[in-house]
Amino acid sequence: MTKVLSVASECVPLMKTGGLADVVGALPAALAGQGVEMRVLVPGYPKVMAALGKAKAVMTWDDLFGGPASLRAGKLGDGVLYTLDAPHLFDREGGPYNDATGADWPDNPQRFAALSLAGARVAAEGIKGWSPDVIHCHDWQAGLAPLYLREKGAGDRVASVITIHNIAFQGMAPGDMVGTLGLPPGEFTQDGYEFWGDISALKAGLVYADKITTVSPTYAAEIMTPDYGVGMDGLLQARQADVVGILNGIDGEAWSPPFTKPSGKAKHRAALRREFDLPDWDGPVCVVVSRLTEQKGLDLLLMALPALLDNGGQLVLLGTGEPGLEAAYRDFAAQHPGVAVTIGYDEDLAHRMIVGGDAILVPSRFEPCGLTQLYGLHHGTLPVVALTGGLADTVINASPAGLAAGAATGIQFNPVTAQALAQALMKLVNLYHDQPTWTQMMKNAMAAPVDWGHSAAKYAALYAGMVKAG
């Protein structure tokens, strides 16, 4: 049995801002059948502490970056959850990273250094006879853990791996915080955790972890290039032998379709159109469940939408993000009866949209893995995706070859421009009107392997190969 401590800033069902939380929440159960015991460590945000209840402290600090703290043990499903109870760092209103105005918490460097340090201490000392073989660090928020682990003298006993969920977020802190964060001054160099005069928590993870994973094979290759590496491409090229791309999966039970055949979608599609009072047009109902950002290509979709609407297609969008895009989509919906927009996030509505939609649009400029296209595939809601990252790895394009082989599960477009997206939307409408082909694509999509089975086996093999003697 390989023992793994997973350290992350969010985890479903306790705290979620994106796909990271889904992955962290799903992995322990997925790995249980692979000979891996995974325990999860997350910050003690108010919602997390409320869900945990009166849990017993199993580790304490008199002063953890400005105040007393404790580690409390509880349950996550059938597994163990550790929560870092540090009220001075985490007991506050707002999001996990931002205040109510959307500004970063000014003490984020200390907050997530504390999470990393707690993870390193658990890995180095163990808790009540349980000592991990591997510490699995997720994104920059846990990026300092491998360095702290080394500083505690445990790097030769406990292996470390960091997963890059999105390399664009790097956990920067001013260089004069080296002492504040308890980092070794001698490592504040170009070959260490220094990045253009600042501290980079993500870079620390990439330098000091034994292995590096990303959430899709294509993204692993992309981030070794200047276009996608966000300044870390050279480091990743130097460590390419230690970089592994493992696709994310989805929780098949939480996202179980209410039908097993393509024909079962019809009543849910009709219900979705009624819910949003969409006119009785004859084209596909497309859905978007996304953050409204340029990274997600939602500015391109605004420009390409006429190609969908003019050909009888419709759009239902759920999301929140950049104020300019939120306003633009509200205005667009007000002027076009075939478009319905909900600003915000509602998990139940997201489910209804993916169940009832004919297609799901994911026009991201870059996408490490993406989960919404996987939800779409599972429900026969055919993805229209940019040819990048995990979108390239999970959707089989309706190219002449893909259609001739009877294997297509969606539409990919490239380059990532409004014009290419418009062409993809017109192709979508044409395929929708070819019902035998469309039905076959739905069957293919619903049969696609999107759960954690295959990927969990890859993680288990990775961990097993990392275990250190002694």
* Residue 282 clears pLDDT 80, i.e. is over it: yes
Number of compact structural domains in the chain: 2
The dihedral over CA atoms of 108, 114, 117, 121, expressed in degrees to the nearest 10, equals -160
Which domain, by its residues, includes 58? 2-249+453-466
Over residues 304-333, the pLDDT tens digits come to 999 999 999 999 999 999 999 999 999 999
Please give the structure tokens belonging to residue 182: 């308890």
Residue 350 neighbours by CB under 8 Å, 6+ apart: 289, 318
Same domain, 232 and 377: no
Pair 227, 369 in one domain: no
Q: What percent of the chain has pLDDT over 70?
A: 100
SS3 label, residue 399:
coil
| Burial readout 288-308 (b: 16 or more C-beta within 10 A, e: otherwise) | bbbbbbebbbbbbbeebbebb
The pLDDT assigned to 469 comes to 76
pLDDT number for residue 470? 59
Rounded average pLDDT over 36-47 = 97
Least confident of 19-23, 185-189, 384-388: 19-23
The alpha carbons of the chain give a radius of gyration, in whole angstroms, of 23
Let me know whether 226 and 302 are in one domain.
no
CB 9 within 8 A of CB 169: no
Higher confidence at residue 17 or residue 313? 313
Assigned domain for 254 exists: no
What is the per-residue burial (b if ≥16 Cβ within 10 Å, else e) of 437-457?
bbebbbebbbebebbbeebbb
What per-residue confidence (pLDDT) applies to 23?
92
Please indicate, yes or no, if residue 338 is contained in any of the structural domains. yes
Q: Return the residue matching tokens 């707002």.
A: 94
Q: Check whether 16 is labelled as a binding-site residue.
A: yes
Task: Quick: pLDDT tens for 64-115.
Answer: 999 999 999 999 889 999 999 999 999 999 899 998 888 999 999 999 999 9
Full DSSP string of 22-86: HHHHHHHHHHHTTTEEEEEEEE--HHHHHHH-SPPEEEEES-SSSS-EEEEEEEETTEEEEEEE-
Asked whether residue 117 carries a pLDDT value surpassing 80, the answer given is: yes
Q: What SS3 state is found at 320?
A: strand
Given a cut of 80, whether residue 19 has pLDDT beyond it is: yes
Same domain, 311 and 377: yes
DSSP category for residue 467: P
Residue 256 lies in a domain: no
Do both 349 and 374 map to the same domain? yes
Contact 318, 344 (CB under 8 A): yes
The span from the CA of 149 to the CA of 156, in Å, is 9
Q: Which residues, at least 6 apart from 104, have a Cβ–Cβ distance to it below 8 Å?
A: 97, 98
In this prediction, residue 338 carries a pLDDT of 96
Closest by Cα among 92, 102, 80 to 11: 80
Helix (H, G, I), strand (E, B), or coil: what is residue 282?
coil
CA distance 420 to 276: 28
Same structural domain for residues 151 and 165? Answer: yes
- The pLDDT value given to residue 402: 97
In a shared domain, residues 232 and 327 = no
Cα angle for residues 449, 450, 454 (degrees, 5° grid): 70
Which CATH number covers residue 340?
Answer: 3.40.50.2000
Q: Output the average pLDDT for the chain.
A: 96
Is 257 within the bounds of a domain? no
pLDDT confidence band for 272 (50 / 70 / 90): very high
Q: Of 14-23, 93-102, 170-179, which one has max mean pLDDT?
A: 170-179
In this structure, the answer to whether residues 28 and 127 fall within a common structural domain is yes
> In the sheet where 243-245 sits, what is the strand order?
57-61, 69-76, 79-85, 36-43, 2-7, 134-138, 159-164, 211-214, 243-245
Band (345; pLDDT cuts 50, 70, 90):
confident
Structure confidence at residue 47 (pLDDT):
94
**Which residue stretches of 210-314 are H helix?**
217-222, 226-229, 233-238, 265-275, 298-309
Instruction: Please state at what angle helix 347-356 crosses helix 265-275, rounded to 10 degrees.
Output: 130
328 in any annotated domain: yes
The set of residues, in sequence order, having a beta carbon less than 8 Å from that of 192 and lying 6+ positions away, is 186, 204, 207
- Is residue 12, in this structure, part of any structural domain at all? yes
Least confident residue range of 81-90, 145-154, 247-256, 458-467: 247-256
Residues 23 and 456: beta-carbon distance below 8 Å: no
Average pLDDT over residues 38-61: 94
The CA distance from 163 to 243, in Å, is: 10
Q: Is the dihedral of CA 384, 390, 394, 396 positive or negative?
A: positive
Sign of the four-CA dihedral 100, 104, 106, 112:
positive
- What are 412's strand-pairing partners? 385
- Mean pLDDT of all residues in 37-44: 98
pLDDT in tens, 361-414: 999 999 999 999 999 999 999 999 999 999 999 999 999 999 999 999 999 999
281 lies in some domain = yes
Torsion angles phi and psi, residue 204, rounded to 5 = -55, -45
**Could you give the CA distance from residue 158 to residue 125 in angstroms, rounded to a whole number?**
10
Per residue in 238-261, pLDDT tens? 999 999 999 999 988 888 999 999
Residues 226 and 278 in one domain: no
